[in-house]
Amino acid sequence: MLPFTQEQFLAVFVSYNRAIWPVQFGMYQLGGLAVALLFWKPKGADRMIAGILAAMWLWTGIAYHALFFSAINKAAYLFAALFVIQGGYLIYAGVYRGRIQFGVRSGSASWVGIALIAYAAIVYPIISIARGHPYPAMPVFGVTPCPVTIFTFGLLLLAAPPLSRWLLVIPFVWSLIGGSAAILLNVPQDWLLLASGFIAVPLIVFGNRRAA
């Protein structure tokens, strides 16, 4: 049993989206840049992609979870901490250490990664609108946890193995938390979130083993 109703849940998105505009537009631009950098590989492209992912996790943890979602669910402070940790680790592993190399490659992992990226940025909002929850009463790409997690799995599937398993822990945990809540709240665009962890993590771990 959740400590809030669907109406309260959607009301948080309304107030949040109105308060942070036009950050949503900027995050879409950053997401587009991350995708472009997968194909156009200037010097430092991998660090920039990791930095974009980190910015999404840090923003979502602090702005969404800690400042807005906590109004209806005190567990949001724990969620905020997890998102900040994930953002910090992306900065450490991907930006500072340069240990994540992104790129489109052959194989099922890349195709699944591209599909998840497209779903998070394009299909996700279309489903929300079709279900009668247009902006601002909807989770928006880049600034809310479920699209950020799906987008992250998509990009990590496009990372060259071996990839640190620590990068997968918090996204997988959130896929369970956010995905199960989505079912209880009847948010169908988040149903894929629940499956995304079970799809992405085995593919990445299998890729790591093949690269070992």
Q: The tokens 């992609």 sit on which residue?
A: 49
Residue 162: domain span: 6-211
Identify the band that residue 58 occupies on the pLDDT scale cut at 50, 70 and 90.
Answer: very high
Higher pLDDT, 107 or 8: 8
pLDDT score recorded for residue 184: 86
**112 found inside a domain:** yes
Q: How far apart are CA 26 and CA 197, in angstroms?
A: 27
Residue 71 sits at the vertex; the CA angle it makes with 58 and 65, to the nearest 5 degrees, is 15
E strand or H helix at 206: helix 191-211
Give me the number of domains the chain comprises.
1
Residue 1 inside a domain? The answer is: no
**Distance, CA of 157 to chain centre:** 13
Q: Which of 198, 139, 138, 132 is nearest to 171 (CA)?
A: 198
Whether residue 41 lies inside any domain: the answer is yes
Would the pTM of this model clear 0.85, i.e. be above it?
yes
Quick one: pLDDT at residue 180? 87
**166 occurs within a structural domain:** yes
Max distance between CA atoms of the chain, in angstroms, equals 49
